[in-house]
A and B are shown apart, each in its own frame.
Chain A
Amino acid sequence: MSLSQWKLDYSYSSKNCRTSDSNFNPPGFYSSAATVQHSAEADRSADQHEHLARKRAWDTAMGPAKSLPMNMFMMYMAGGGVSIFPIMMVGMMLFRPLKALFSVNSTFKPLESPATGAMILHKLIFCLGNLGAIGLAIYKVHTMGLLPNTPSDWLEFIPQPGRAQYSIVDEVFL
């Protein structure tokens, strides 16, 4: 359910409702006054709402990118040692953006409104931010030496070369 579909019906009143009986209202409360005020500000509120929705959408889109410096700092602080905490941190940093990437649409669904439109740009920026975070995590894994990207990592798979000639070192008798 999106925000645009959700409305308060101020005009509704009924005999059964206790609020219709003004005797029960607290002192100084006038239900009609509120209604008046609302109708007076209705136009301005619609504007503000649109603005807010757009702002929220941008906030969501920029979120991952904004957290990048902090992630960098955390990674720096985590150190290069291969131990449980740095590994856990790097793992989190890798998996959170990945998860976010898979749920781009559902992240932006609640923000959808006529004001924000299709939010292609937002989504793109969101994705880029997350990709940046992933890249950062991968870089971290690389600096930790966990990526198999050097010849030394594939060393054990090199087969032993065969022999073109056979030679013998033996003892000589006589």
Chain B
Amino acid sequence: MRLPLLVTITLIASATAIFEDQVGKFDWRKQLIGCPARVDFDKIGSKSDRLLISTEQSILSSLVLNTGNIGWRRIMEDSNQVVQPNGLTFTKDHEYIYSISSDGRSIRVWHKNNGVMARQLTISEQKSTIQAIHVSNGRLHVASGKTLMVFRLGDDKPLETIVAKRERSFSAFFQQDDHLVHVSAFPGDFNLEIVKISDDGSFETPKQVIIDGFDVEKCHHQSQYISCYHNSQLLVADVFAQKVHKTTLDSKLQSISGSGRLFLARGSQKVHILEVTSENGLQVRKSIDLTSSDTVGITENHESIIVASPESIRIVFVNSGKHFEAKREKNEQNSRIRSIFARKNEKDWEIVLVGNDCRIEFVTVDEGSKIVNLEWAREESLINTVSVEMVDLPLSESQQMIEDEFEEEGQQNIIAAFVRRIHSQVGQLIRQVTKNVEKAIQVVTSLSRDGNGVADFINSVRAAGQIGSASSSGPFERDYFNLRKVIIVVTSSGTVFGIDSSDGSYLWKLWLGDAFSPLESQLDQKRVPLFVQRTTAHYQLDGLASVVFSNKITQNGVIVSFNPMIGKVESRNELGYPVKRLTILPIHNHRHVFPVMLIGKNDEIAVFPSIAPEELTPSTTSLYLLDLQKSSVQGLKVDISTQKVTPIWQGNLGLTSDDEIVAVKGKSFNQKVHSQGRVLVTREVQYKYINPNLAAVATINKNTQQLTITLVDIVTGQVVHSASIGKSAKPIHLVHSENWIAYTYWSEKGRRTELGIIELYEGTEENHTQKEMFDSKIVQKLPPVVAQQSYIYAQGVDAMSVSETEQGLTTRSILVAHPSGNIHEVSRRLLDANRPMELTPAMREEMMIGYMPEIAVATEEMINYNQTVHRVRGIKTSPSGLESTSLVLAYGTDLFFTRLVPSGTFDILKDDFDHVLISLVLTGLVVGSYVTKRLARSNALASQWS
């Protein structure tokens, strides 16, 4: 019994692609839970306190209260990646958590302490977002959509079921002592339907109660009450007494919340605390003055009200007149607080603050010292990452000196240049010497500390070597191979983060303001475009990056520019109109800034920062755009100097009204293609058709289920190639790079995912003319030669991307994220449209791979080995200073960063290369040879004397 187990364990351990000692060396993963919608304080066993959190991203998780680490996390299916503001509906008893999952179609029962699923029950075939769940008396009561069900705990079959005629708009369970009722409402009327659930679990006949002006949006329910507001009027309905209390407050209400018998009715200036008692009905107990940045919450035991603002936390006791205020450390980059979850324990208040930026903060407030202690904080908005860029770190001091040396070249005479050179090189020498001396001192001190064996010595030398290259402890400057970068992450929640790529730590955070709203693209995706306008290559000038979003209130476009190294906002401009399209210009101004051009609704053009007409080159005075509408496709020309948009061509690209555009992909304008052709077995060259103005448009026909990929030249509107695949369906992913397009689709015919590739060539020698410039307006003699191939891919695809290296010399790899949480690296050598059907010996000699219908998914090709990354929405690749290495960040529910070497590390020694041992052996040999030489000489002398 034990032996097979042992064998299995060893097999699992060996199934990783990187060496075991490399795990975590240059990759990191951040697990996220999303924006909390509901937070419950909970306890496992006697002492381990947990937070049970259900989030808008339908994730159920348990956080360790003391550290904020994830105890367990369960990710539910998330069909359309829709944000659910109320989170998952769940309830709990002392051992289990009961949640309604898969859009209201099933119940899942989870063990509270480890998150293991105990059971799953099906409740309905229909999706619904109106859900309620309650557990009591050994029974589980569920309402989802039209259905209302009762289960006995542990049973799979419901005791009783009612199916309503209509979809509900409100649904909740209420319990008082042993009485349980279900209250529901239907859209369009003010009737509340109350169903009593008797002791044996059967439903009694429904009763109707009318509440005037009942509006689900403006109502809140708690223990036995439903409270609604309408302007300044507050209605509280007691479900069990079936009595409605009414009161009118002095100001217009904005929101209602509460717990137990208390209600918090919030106006713009103050919050009223009301209580329902059997004697007096609904009465105002207290009023607290508020500012707009305050948020109000109540503790679990209904004793104190918590008012949190960015500067302080006020605690007001309900029953006595006491209150006190504790100061918080204010941070401009944290947003207003959205919701408060609090409880009081013996010593202090434990408060979970959730911000509009999805930051979860756990603080404790002590009454005696009046101090707010920040225990931990989690930045959960990263789950909504939409744009990522990687920016080089600033040049190090020695690199700056080298730059200095060449800075004023040509302006001074030869002697001055020579002197400057000597000067800077002496400076470099001094720097090097001091660095080495420091290192030596470090080694010596660590040696005297650690011991005096040879192994100790070697280890300490090694450690010293690593300190130099270690990233996290080093200074904030570019490393030798430019592998450490600042990752700028923009989220659709309105936050921007600077993340250190070496360990995933946050460098800075930027909150874009309460008026933030992401741009909505035509493909129904939230976008917050991010542009790096100036890299850190110009060391006298700071880097500059910009994000564009829209104002929530006015819908106008806003552009915020900031320094990508420290996150300091440089400028914030609001346009007078909504943004329709935007792009970064391919030219920089005299301050080395690439301006961002924003085009408004009525073709207004704004350029940030402005660019002078004389800085434009002939090829950049006008830009060409592709304008895809539902039925027609337009080519637009934007004249930057005169700020005019003119249509150039118009057509439909062969699209009908049934065709739905699913993806449009162009190429970035700084993509480098090192090799201009492909060498054939005959040693001829097939030249690549690299058209920088080519856009790939994927459309799917609703009627015929035909996927069409059209390659269109944006400048002329010429359709370069078009390919159709029958019987295919979404999801469709498209990657466009160099001269090829890779795409995945679901094949209805084969019932599998397929991976296709299209490559474009100009043909062999005779059809190729050497070009200085690629001009789309010069008509090609012949259409490009197209090679295409499809492969079976035995996994689903969540996201697809392609590796990017500095010179474009390394073979590219396609990165495919699976729904199972793996990221698979498919080499272009495998995904090749020219894999021959029959391999000749000559081809074999060239190490070509014959065509095989399937692309194998091997576990060692997973770049994230066993670090599962869920719901990947995008993969960002960025070149590093090493040609072999590409930096990868996959984002979705988790963030995962790693280095990718598509062709192996051909330009660097392996990282287990032992410099110390080699140099020790070498010095040993040299010394040994000298010693033996001396010995031999003296020996020879001695023998001659004898």
Contacts and interface: CB of A to CB of B under 8 A. Distances in A.
Interface string B579-608: 111110010000000000000010000000
B96 interface: no
Contacts of B777: 164-165
Interface stretch (A53-61, A126-134, A145-153): A145-153
Contacts of A167: 623-626, 666, 692-693, 695, 714-715, 776
Interface in A120-174: 145, 150-152, 155-156, 158, 160-174
Contacts of B675: 155-156
B672 A171 contact: no
Given A162-B774, A164-B776, A171 B527 contact: yes
Contacts of B943: none
Interface centre among A160, A164, A168 (most CB of B within 10 A): A168
Contacts of A163: 619, 669, 692-693, 773-774
Contact of B619 (A166, A171, A172, A173): A166
Contacts of A158: 676-677, 770
A151 B774 contact: no
Interface string B704-723: 00000000001100000000
Contacts of B623: 166-168
A33 B627 CA distance: 118
A151 B685 contact: yes
Given A158-B676, A166-B620, A168-B624, A173 B773 contact: no
Contact of A166 (B522, B626, B669, B771): B669
Nearest to B770: A158
Interface string B869-890: 0000000000000000000000
B666 A164 contact: no
B523 to A, nearest CB: 7
- For chain A, the bracket of interface size reads 20 to 34
Given A162-B774, A163-B774, A164-B777, A173 B666 contact: no
Q: Which of A81, A163, A166, A172 has the most CB of B within 10 A?
A: A166
Main secondary structure on A side of the interface with B: loop
B620 A161 contact: no
A170 B523 contact: no
Contacts of B695: 167, 169
Nearest to B628: A172
A162 B581 CA distance: 26
A75 B854 CA distance: 42
A162 B771 CA distance: 8
A164 B773 contact: yes
Interface in B644-695: 664-667, 669, 672-677, 679-680, 683-685, 690, 692-693, 695
A165 B715 contact: yes
Contacts of A165: 619, 622, 624, 693, 715, 775-777
B578 interface: yes
Nearest to A81: B845
B523 A171 contact: yes
B772 A174 contact: no
A57 B684 CA distance: 47
Interface in A49-70: none
Given A156-B675, A166-B586, A168-B666, A173 B774 contact: no
Nearest to A174: B580
Interface residues of B, number: 57
A161 B772 contact: yes
Contacts of B521: 171-173
Interface in B770-810: 770-777
A171 B579 CA distance: 11
Interface in B337-392: none
B519 interface: yes
Contacts of B684: 150-152
Interface in B739-779: 765, 770-777
A167 B627 CA distance: 12
B618 to A, nearest CB: 9
B520 interface: yes
A173 B679 contact: no
Contact of A173 (B581, B624, B626, B692): B581
Contact of B677 (A81, A145, A152): A152
Contact of A169 (B522, B620, B714, B845): B714
Nearest to A171: B521
Interface in A71-91: 81
Contacts of B677: 152, 155, 158
Nearest to A150: B683
A158 B525 CA distance: 40
Contacts of B583: 168, 170
A155 B773 contact: no
Contact of A164 (B523, B580, B775): B775
A155 B685 contact: yes
B624 A166 contact: yes
B393 to A, nearest CB: 27
Interface string B487-509: 00000000000000000000000
B669 A155 contact: no
B630 to A, nearest CB: 11
A170 to B, nearest CB: 5
B679 A172 contact: no
A15 B685 CA distance: 88
A163 to B, nearest CB: 5
Contacts of B771: 161
Given A150-B684, A152-B683, A165-B775, A171 B770 contact: no
Contacts of A151: 684-685, 765
B691 to A, nearest CB: 10
A156 to B, nearest CB: 6
Interface string B418-449: 00000000000000000000000000000000
Contacts of A166: 586, 619-620, 623-624, 669
B673 A160 contact: yes
Contacts of B586: 166
A55 B677 CA distance: 58
Contacts of A150: 683-685
B601 A174 contact: yes
Contacts of B692: 163, 167
Contacts of A160: 672-674, 676, 690
B2 to A, nearest CB: 50
Contacts of B523: 171
Contact of A170 (B525, B582, B667, B772): B582
A160 B773 CA distance: 9
B559 to A, nearest CB: 14
A157 B159 CA distance: 78
Contacts of B666: 167-169
Nearest to B714: A167
A127 B344 CA distance: 104
A173 B620 CA distance: 24
A174 B714 contact: no
B74 to A, nearest CB: 33
Given A167-B693, A168-B583, A172-B627, 18 more contacts: A150-B683, A150-B685, A152-B677, A152-B685, A155-B677, A163-B669, A163-B773, A164-B775, A166-B619, A167-B692, A167-B714, A168-B714, A170-B583, A171-B521, A171-B525, A173-B527, A173-B580, A174-B580
13 contacts: A152-B677, A155-B676, A158-B676, A161-B690, A162-B619, A163-B669, A165-B777, A168-B624, A168-B666, A169-B695, A171-B521, A174-B578, A174-B580
Interface of B: 519-523, 525, 527, 550, 578-583, 586, 601, 619-620, 622-628, 664-667, 669, 672-677, 679-680, 683-685, 690, 692-693, 695, 714-715, 765, 770-777, 845
Q: 6 closest Cβ contacts across the A-B interface?
A: A169-B666, A164-B775, A167-B624, A167-B714, A167-B693, A152-B679
